[in-house]
Chains A and B, each alone.
Chain A
Amino acid sequence: MILKIHRHKACDLNFIKIIILFGFILSTNCFAQKKSSVVSLVTVEVTTNKNDLSQIGKKTEAIDSIIKQQFKLNSIGDVLSLNTPIFIKNYGPGQLATTAFRGGNASQTAILWNGFNVQNAMLGQSDLSLMPSFLFEDIGVEYGGSSSLWGSGAVGGSIHLKSKTLFNQGFKTYVGLGGGSFGVKNINTGILYSGKRFISSSKIYNSLAQNNYAYKDTSDKEPPVKYQKNAAYNFIGFMQELKFLINARQNLSVNSWVNVNKRRLPAFNASADSKTYQYDNATRISANWSYINSNFRSVVKAAFFEDRINYTDSLTSLFSKSKTHTIIAENENYINWHHHQLNFGLNYTSSKAFTSNYDGTKTLDRFSFLIGNRFSLMQNKWLSYVSARAEYFSVGKLPITGNLSTEYNFTKYFSLMASTAKVYRQPTLNELYWLPGGNINLKPEQGYTFEGSANYKTQINNFSFFVAGAVFSRKINNWILWVPGADGNPSPINLQHVWSRGTETTWKITYVKDKFVAKLNVLTAYVLSTIEADKQENSNTVNKQLIYTPRYTVNANMLIGYNKAAITFYDQYIGYRFTTSDNSQWLNPYQIASLRLNYSIDAKFIDLILFAACNNLFNKSYTILSGRPMPLRNYEFGITLQSKNRNK
């Protein structure tokens, strides 16, 4: 196995060389480009989409450009963990990272790539450590449920990962190189051609690490430093986006994202041997045609996703291969009338699984109809949105869901928002068909969610302040849990009722004077997510907090920048996490800090940004999940080179 990894490494180095060369050759070419003629063609601007509608009356958050720059060589999981109140359940660097969003589990979060939910249909979840942040120009978080707009899984919230490329931006290239402790090597490169009628954006990445990081085994009384074993990873991927401006009213885009991810999976007892490794490979292709005129916009979208997971444990002779094909076809229409905007659309989603763990190939088909209306009153001060979604599901019934949300902007500084929705999550393919234990009679998890929030911002001299607060409540019935069936094999059943509620606050203070900038951001979350009813006799879980759902999280960061240099200090507190459903065992809270520095050099043809980071600054021993030690103090460094846009 070790030999295999080394051989793999040799290939990786070649691969890295190729993409460096690829990036630099093309960046050289770009400098030779002549400035194009002045463009007069008015490009089609997308006015409204489902994303805009789903955000009415809700708390949302966009990851800003400085953060994206600082995390350019990190995964989406890393970005969200330190910059949002979402608790990321991370098994370690490069290992599985999933969300616990407002007390929901990973399959109750929609992960949307350009509006398509990319959750693996067998598992009902996606691994955020396999999604490099540099791929996406827009990273947004939508809090609260939106099943009527996004369908199954948008229960706790949604994560939006989007490309955002405008026409006529010229030729740009980008190369990022990074390294760090425990053999971390990162490279990503991008080439963008943005013409008057055509855009091509190509991005390639490779991220690998030996991952033999130092940690302390907190179960030992006087923990010696140990080293993680069997945790190497190698993630390679490619994203290609093409966009055509057919005419002033129509455009067409085709996107693809292919990735091959290999990683070894360490044993629970990190000192024990493990010969487990897993491939998570995905091919995602989508196309989007859009038509717009003054009062009408129509979008036709289609996508094909293939997810492969190959798991090999030669110690236990456990070999598992699975493949899922998902086809999505969707139509959205928007009609403006008076102060309203009517939207309606259809969605067809079909997921087919191929695995020896089922009794043959299994397919789930879902056909949905969505209708909604946005109300815009009082010179757009008062916005409201109402929607409903009805679905046909090939296995059982899905509920009719709906959403009612409103927001009132008292001034441009102060707004109040409220939203309520019926939400659901359909059972996954594994929950329905896994052998043994799959339960074809499962009902979807469903319930109601409510949230209210307020935003206030103001500017006093060089200071700007932003304060936001949100309260939410969500009750979900038929919560699915795997428990032993009548024959002793674990089987999922609709076991529990769960009530999640809590508060979130955001505090941002910014001071800017000349070339000096200082920012302080504090995000807090308080989440109670308790089991309200449990069908098992003497279970002692009622009124207990869900496992791995911290009640308290606080993320703070302070940035000080001068001219081209910036230093950011991150501090994160994650409260107690229960590891048993009767709350009899728990993990202690942890508070970890990190420091990130970046320095930009503005050269003639190129923007050069140097960065360095020190993670776990105070060298704390901690685990996010039981038995999964996290690294002690470690370092990252890197450089990004971006060609200047010579059309501007």
Chain B
Amino acid sequence: MKKIISLFIFALTLVSCVKDKPQDVVQPQLQLTGAKKVYIINEGVFNSGNASVSLYDTGNDAVVEDFYKTQNPSSPNVGDVAQHLAKINGKFYLVVNNSGKIIVLDDQFKKINQVSNLSSPRYILPVTNQKAYVSDYNGNAISIIDLNTNTKTSSIACGGFTEEMVLIYNKAFVTNVKRNYVYTINTINDIKTDSINVGPNAGSIVIDKNDKIWVLGSGNSQNNIPGKLSRIDPVNNQVEISYTFAAGESPFRLCLNKTKDTLYFIKGGIYRMAINDVSLPVTALIANGTKNFYGIGINPNNHTIYAADALDYISKSNIYIYNASGTEKTHFKAGLIANGFYFE
């Protein structure tokens, strides 16, 4: 009996129903076509250093989940919290927020340079061929980047958490999540010139076909301040009209279609609103169900809607592609916490 028990316990020691070592997923060799590509920015889990960029080939639906790693095998890590990807002067600029850097890549997505010494960069806006502004989470300033040398040359004091920016009439309009204002900066002399009250938590900004600026604020549910969508005339910096959401609603990620006449945003589901509509949409174009929509983009080439479902924030995101009427065409996996898209 004792021997049997000892053997049983010994067997427990050796028991191994599941191998400890996880199996590496072998990425199939993909043949990319000459069709337009979609780059998916994956934030990665905050403080985990696992940001990445995925690539979707619209020609054959091929997906490279970690395209940055594929193109940069010698230094495969993007860093912590990839926030924004822009193409400026033929080069990609990948803003990596919690690593305090912007990775500069060639058109093949191979790293060629890096802008360092940034506090916590969020978005990059080219204001000339030589100069770009970079908003910042906690630097209390907009950084000015020399696009030729890819170095930070100076900064413009701007308290709070600056976020998305647009450029029109030699003026940069800068959203600020921690203030109730959009700030304007004269891009010729880099001086802050004005502020426009748009309510709290405004981080999204676009310019429509009429050269009007739209700003989306998420509100502040802690203080029962609802979200607000505001239209600004960039000539006189006045809010022309604003729409207030219902209490407790926190919309975010405002974007435009190719013709710049229709706004899209996330409020649980995905909502659509023509710029001439006189009220906020009541019904979602795409209901969220159990999805956690976290990023959205409208493909300017074919009007398809790309939506990123970040799921539980700690597993690979699902990317859904919908046609213009909101019907799902396909879905695929990208990296962790996909937050946005860059369309070729």
A, B from the same assembly:
yes
Give residues in A with beta carbon < 8 Å to B: 219, 221, 268-269, 272, 315-317, 357, 410, 413-414, 435-436, 454, 456, 458, 467-471, 481, 483-490, 495, 503-505, 507, 524, 526, 528, 535-541, 547, 551-552, 575-576, 578-586, 589, 626-627
- The answer to whether A541 and B312 touch (CB under 8 A), given A454-B8, A471-B12, is yes
Whether A486 lies near B268 (C-beta < 8 A) is yes
Whether A467 lies near B6 (C-beta < 8 A) is yes
- The answer to whether A269 and B98 touch (CB under 8 A), given A486-B288, A584-B25, is yes
Q: In the assembly, what is the distance between CA of A507 and CA of B12, in Å? A: 12
Known: A538-B331, A540-B315, A584-B315. 7 other contacts (CB 8 A): A315-B138, A414-B5, A488-B268, A539-B315, A540-B316, A581-B314, A627-B49
Whether A589 lies near B18 (C-beta < 8 A) is no
Residues facing A in B290-344 (CB within 8 A) are 290-292, 294, 309-316, 318, 331, 333, 336
Q: In the assembly, what is the distance between CA of A414 and CA of B6, in Å? A: 11
Q: Count chain B CB atoms within 10 A of each CB in A410, A535, A581, A583 and give the residue with the most.
A: A581
Interface pairs A-B: 7 shortest CB-CB: A268-B47, A469-B9, A582-B315, A487-B250, A486-B268, A503-B12, A436-B221
Whether B18 lies near A551 (C-beta < 8 A) is yes
Whether B221 lies near A578 (C-beta < 8 A) is no
Interface residues on B, range: 35 or more
A-B contact pairs, 15 of them (CB 8 A): A268-B47, A269-B99, A357-B222, A436-B221, A470-B12, A484-B310, A485-B268, A488-B218, A488-B294, A536-B312, A538-B309, A539-B311, A547-B314, A586-B22, A627-B49
Interface SS of chain A: loop
Query: Which partner residue on chain A sits nearest B222 by CB separation?
Result: A435
For residue B236, give the distance in angstroms from its CB to the closest CB of chain A: 32
Query: Which partner residue on chain B sits nearest A357 by CB separation?
Result: B222
- The answer to whether A489 and B5 touch (CB under 8 A), given A317-B138, A540-B316, A584-B316, is no
- Flag whether B45 is at the interface (Cβ < 8 A): yes
For residue A610, give the distance in angstroms from its CB to the closest CB of chain B: 36
Whether A488 lies near B252 (C-beta < 8 A) is yes
Residues facing A in B18-52 (CB within 8 A) are 18, 20-22, 25, 45-50
Give residues in B with beta carbon < 8 Å to A: 1-2, 5-6, 8-10, 12-13, 15-18, 20-22, 25, 45-50, 74, 77, 79-80, 98-100, 137-138, 178, 218, 221-222, 248-252, 266-268, 288-292, 294, 309-316, 318, 331, 333, 336
For residue B176, give the distance in angstroms from its CB to the closest CB of chain A: 13
Whether A219 lies near B48 (C-beta < 8 A) is no
- The answer to whether A583 and B22 touch (CB under 8 A), given A414-B2, A467-B6, A547-B314, is yes
Q: In the assembly, what is the distance between CA of A414 and CA of B1, in Å? A: 10
From B46, B48, B294, B315, give the contact of A484 (CB < 8 A). Answer: B294
- Name the A residues within 8 Å of B292 (CB-CB): 483-484, 536
Whether B221 lies near A435 (C-beta < 8 A) is yes
Query: Which partner residue on chain B sits nearest A522 by CB separation?
Result: B13
Whether B316 lies near A505 (C-beta < 8 A) is no
Query: Which partner residue on chain A sits nearest B252 by CB separation?
Result: A488
Q: In the assembly, what is the distance between CA of A552 and CA of B252, in Å? A: 43
- Name the B residues within 8 Å of A580 (CB-CB): 45, 314-316, 336
